[in-house]
Structure 1
Amino acid sequence: MTTPLLAELTARAGDLAHPRTGRCVCGTVVTLADRPGATVVRHAATVAKAHDPATDPAALALRLATAARLPDVLLPPLTPAPVTVRGRLVTFWPYGAPVDPDDPDAAPWEAAAVLLARLHRTPPPVPLPAMRGPVKAARAVALLRAADPHPGAAAVLAAWDGLPAWARAEAPAPDPDTLCHGDLHLGQLVRRPAGTGPWLLIDVDDLGMGPAAWDLARPAAWFACGLLPPGQWARFLAAYRAAGGPAVPADGDPWPALDVPARALTVQTAARSLAKAVAAGRPLDEVEESFVDACARMAGLPARSHTNFAK
């Protein structure tokens, strides 16, 4: 069902994709996402994104300006400022080909690591607010608290309570002077021009200043939970170090730097999984169970399966 917002986004993207007529003659009009926090439409080579209703317009403008000035790391926007469409802030982007989810062996772990290292070494071209990673983790936990009870919730909340205040967005983060993406995963990489150009990072909603280790936390958490093969994790970490990434030491054990962010991302993922499962009235799948089990181990509670997180 086409909503008024979706219809207007499609029309606005068409105006950019086909400036003379606004009409699509290529047959490529695709809804890439349509959820409360983001609606994304592709019209030919143009993508329009309606951001979360709670998005701060001044912060988004600064994040757009950063992407425009770092085109070797971040996909640059097509327009310099967001517009308002039906009460939502909307930005426009060139289409880039995403990572193929059906070919995990070809996942660009090294490219992602090099882009992160480059981002982390770059002084922000404009003043930026704090990276929003901990805020997103706190939001996921708040959704879990508001959901109907689930047997796994106690372990997730106990693991959350064991994190330091900064990782729960209750205090300023340490090392606040590094430019961070804030929500790194393979879905945040595209090739532009589509399929032939270099990999670039997308989605600036959480971009800002903070601890660089947060950007390595999701792959670290997947590795610690036994879901990312050791070889892929080793490739990612080695490429980040070789590119001079500052989040971890150049050699030796990376976990003292990664442990807290990886635990926070584990809790965030588990909390979202539980909230979605409760809302859908379904059991957790195997991957979701792995994250809940990891939270149990972090909290010193019995867990169904082994993870690399210590009690």
Structure 2
Amino acid sequence: MTAALVRDLGDLAHRAAHASGGCCCPPPVVLADREDGTVVRSGPVVAKAHAAGTDTADLAARLGLAAGAEHAATLLAPLPRTDPAELHGRPVTLWPHGEPVDPGDPDAAPWEEAGALLARLHRTEVRRPLPAMRGPVKAALAVARMRTARPGDPAVEPVLTAWHGLPGWARGEAPSPAGRGAYLCHGDLHLGQLVRHPAPHGSWLLIDVDDAGLGDPAWDLARPAAWYAAGLLPPEVWLRFLDAYRAGGGPAVPGDGDPWPALDVPARALTVQTAALAWAKSAAEGRAPDEVERVMTDACARIASLPPELAAEHTS
């Protein structure tokens, strides 16, 4: 975390909060600080410094998407800007604060709402030029980060083997399969991407459009699917999410029957991505992967152990 960046983000959010009438805001607080973004809140306003090297034209297209009136019931819209659009060489955006999912109350997690929001997003007619959804690219970046953090470590071989068994489109090396790549996708769906707005009791909305764009809608279901397949998400919770998505007419899977033929490859890719990030994070923190992180590596080992003919079937 760069102290100067955090300070300036806090100042930016504080000025915007005052301009919107929030005259008694508490001191700015850091909400997130990762390679893909630093987020600071001051009262009703959140300032985000996007990742270094962000394509600003693509970001502008994604911000226009979030600001579109047709997405008001699906995506949190950014706040208008009068301040500089860059701090310390990183693009900066302003957002209204929304109430996040409470990690301490898993029984109240909005799985049905997440499924319904995704179905609505995927059904939306695309009316503006958009870049490709960045999900597969992010998976590739996670694997590259693991390679750098754990060079030559035999413990990560199952992750790499599972990665190399995926088709090119799931590794960000080729377009999505014909007929699957023209849907509007979020690109990085998990429960941390939902907030209530207006806080604290408004409707649930999707946030963080940094990876949004055109692609295979199955990717947005892939992380919950991967957790379910690895045994981290109970079957009844997975079905709540899947049934809500189907009830909303989501196009990623058939309306009934087995959803796995559509979800298998994206779920495998998200399994690899999660395991790769776990290995990279544990290396940075000087520790061994914890139990949950090892579960995803074990899942990669199961993927890597598929007979060649079955692996070909699942990656075609």
Q: Tell me whether the two structures share a fold, i.e. TM-score over 0.5.
A: yes
Distance in 2 of aligned mates of 1:94 and 1:293: 40
After TM superposition, give the deviation of residue 28 of structure 1 in Å: 4.8
The change in CA–CA distance for 1:2 and 1:297 in structure 2 (over 3 A counts) is closer
2:151 is aligned with 1:152: no
Instruction: Point out where structure 1 has 5 or more consecutive residues left out of the alignment.
Output: 302-309
Which residue of 204, 211, 230 corresponds with 2:209? 204
- 2:310 maps to none
After TM superposition, give the deviation of residue 3 of structure 1 in Å: 1.3
After TM superposition, give the deviation of residue 124 of structure 1 in Å: 2.2
Which residue of 212, 216, 222 corresponds with 2:221? 216
Distance in 2 of aligned mates of 1:108 and 1:37: 25
The change in CA–CA distance for 1:289 and 1:122 in structure 2 (over 3 A counts) is same
Any runs of at least 4 consecutive aligned residues in structure 1 with deviations exceeding 6 A, and if so which? none
CA RMSD of aligned residues (A): 1.8
Which residue of 88, 91, 112 corresponds with 1:89? 91
- 1:169 maps to 172
**More deviation, 208-217/147-156:** 147-156
Amino acid at match of 1:136: K
Identical counterparts, % of pairs: 63
After TM superposition, give the deviation of residue 176 of structure 1 in Å: 1.4
Which residue of 227, 231, 237 corresponds with 1:232? 237
Amino acid at match of 1:120: H
Distance in 2 of aligned mates of 1:162 and 1:2: 38
Amino acid at match of 1:86: H
Task: Specify the SS of the correspondent of 1:77.
Answer: coil
After TM superposition, give the deviation of residue 37 of structure 1 in Å: 2.5
User: What are the equivalent positions in structure 2 for 1:1-311 lying under 5 Å apart?
Assistant: 3-19=3-19, 25-69=24-68, 70-79=71-80, 83-148=85-150, 149-174=152-177, 175-300=180-305
Larger helix proportion of the pair: 2
TM-score (norm 1): 0.93
TM-score (norm 2): 0.91
Task: Specify the SS of the correspondent of 1:18.
Answer: helix
Report if the CA contact (8 A) 1:66-1:124 is conserved. Answer: no
Per-residue CA deviation, residues 204-225 of structure 1 (Å, 9 max, x unaligned), is 0000000000000000000000
Amino acid at match of 2:275: A
The change in CA–CA distance for 1:237 and 1:24 in structure 2 (over 3 A counts) is same
Report if the CA contact (8 A) 1:132-1:206 is conserved. Answer: yes
Distance in 2 of aligned mates of 1:156 and 1:36: 21
Distance in 1 of aligned mates of 2:45 and 2:225: 33
Amino acid at match of 1:95: H
The change in CA–CA distance for 1:20 and 1:209 in structure 2 (over 3 A counts) is closer
Report if the CA contact (8 A) 1:150-1:274 is conserved. Answer: no
Report if the CA contact (8 A) 2:77-2:95 is conserved. Answer: yes
Aligned residues: 301
Report if the CA contact (8 A) 1:277-1:284 is conserved. Answer: yes
Task: Specify the SS of the correspondent of 1:261.
Answer: helix
Distance in 2 of aligned mates of 1:151 and 1:281: 17
Task: Specify the SS of the correspondent of 1:34.
Answer: strand
